[in-house]
Structure 1
Amino acid sequence: MFSNDNNVETIAQLVEVLKQYIGLRAEYLKLDVIEKVVRLLTVIAIVVTFTTVLLISLIYLSFSAVYALQPLVESLTIAFLIVGGAYLFLLIVFILLRHQLIERPLVRFLAGILMSK
């Protein structure tokens, strides 16, 4: 009464469609993960490149600042100490404000990439 050839074929088609759907969802999930990983790697590469160029520029600018200060303070050593002290001050400020400057923007960025649909 409940099982005839039409019902069995319909259930078999339903199972086949369900298998195909699950396979497509798994493929979509893989592609979504790959897209997010590629976006993260791209951002990491850009940040590393930008940071490297910035640090190299900062070294040259520091030497320029030292040699510009040297006539004012009459000693090259004191000029180097002034520039070094300025960098030490910036490091302390950066450490004190690391939550606002690094952690929060990084969490927002990663959440935006990983939680996006």
Structure 2
Amino acid sequence: MFSNDKNVETIAQLIEVLKHYIGLQTEYVKLDVIEKVVRLLTVITVVTVFCIILLISLIYLSFAAVYALQTLVGSLIWAFLIVGGGYLLLLFIFILLRHKLIERPLVRFLGSLLTSK
């Protein structure tokens, strides 16, 4: 009953289709991983470029603020100290809010990236 030619041919076709399906699934997984890596690298590159441009702008704005403060406080050294103190205050606030500002959005982004279909 099981050994006729039609059953053997059907089983052989089923095995071929199964092999093809497994090959397609592995290709899909490879392409999915590549897509997610490319998206992650794109976000990292965009954020890096944005941060560099922001940092350069911040340096120029800081010097402008120092020279504007110099006329108010009368001394260049005090103006630099005031701007430096402002940056230390921003750093302290940033450290206090790092979970809310960095960790949660980063975990949310990576979670959505890695679990999306």
Query: TM-score band (shorter)?
Result: over 0.9
2:8 aligns to what SS in structure 1? helix
In structure 1, distance between residues paired with 2:62 and 2:112: 36
In structure 1, distance between residues paired with 2:62 and 2:3: 85
Partner of 2:15: 15
Runs (5+) with no aligned partner, structure 2: none
In structure 2, distance between residues paired with 1:100 and 1:110: 15
Compute the TM-score of the two structures, normalised by the length of structure 2.
0.98
Partner of 2:58: 58
Relative contact order higher in (CA < 8 Å, ≥ 6 apart): 1
Aligned amino acid, residue 42 of structure 1: T
RMSD: 0.6
In structure 2, distance between residues paired with 1:2 and 1:34: 45
1:2 aligns to what SS in structure 2? coil
Partner of 2:100: 100
Q: Alpha-carbon deviation of 1:34?
A: 0.6
Compute the TM-score of the two structures, normalised by the length of structure 1.
0.98
Moved over 4 A (4+): none
Equivalenced residues, count: 117
Identity %: 77
1:1-117 paired onto structure 2 within 5 Å:
1-117=1-117
Q: Alpha-carbon deviation of 1:2?
A: 1.9
Runs (5+) with no aligned partner, structure 1: none
